Amino acid sequence: MENTKTTIMIRCALFTALIAIGAFIQVPVPYLDYFTLQFLFVILSGMILGPKYGAISVVIYVLMGLMGIPIFAAGGGIQYIFRPSFGYLLGFIAAAFTVGIVAKNIKANKFSKYLIAAFSGFIVTYAIGIFYKFIILNLYLGTPTTLWIIFLSCFPLDIPGDILLCVIGSLLASKVNSIL
């Protein structure tokens, strides 16, 4: 399919919608909590749309949520920037771009290469998300903590869930991109 401006806009809108829907698809984990499918659609946006348009689709999602549309996992509105988890949304923007760049540079065309791209987005998301959470907890909420404690708190659910989403996203991207 030709990448006309209309096609690109439709694909960006589609991924913006998928990320929003992914925020509300909650996968329960026994004895823990749940994780959402947002990250899956974030990495797929970078793999399928490329760095520029993948990041744009996530930026649109974040801006819509900040404007008050309740599309984040816990609502929406400008006050969301003061939530410790907002850094992960910022990380999603950088992750979509990073995944797209890595996939492009390594000429991702099979599962293993897409997996490398997905894990680059995983690292970027957590680096930004954990650092932002550290800043908000320590400086805004006055809850002293360390980066290490925040990192360890991600292990029971978030990190294993997102690793699984990296694998699923890589499988999907290898199939979808062969069709497109």
Residue 156: pLDDT band with limits 50, 70, 90: confident
Domains in the chain: ranges and CATH: 5-179 (1.10.1760.20)
pLDDT at 49: 96
pLDDT at 86 over 80: yes
- Model-level pTM? 0.93
Tens of pLDDT, residue by residue over 123-137, are 999 999 999 999 999
pLDDT at 27 over 90: no
Report the percentage of the chain scoring pLDDT > 70. Answer: 97
Phi and psi at residue 10, to the nearest 5°: -65, -45
pLDDT at 1 over 60: no
pLDDT at 159 over 70: yes
The rounded distance, in Å, linking the Cα atoms of 174 and 142 is 45
Q: Please name the residue ranges forming H helices in the chain.
A: 5-24, 38-66, 86-105, 111-135, 147-153, 158-179
pLDDT at 2 over 70: no
Matching residue, tokens 């797929």: 44
pLDDT at 122 over 70: yes
pLDDT at 28: 82
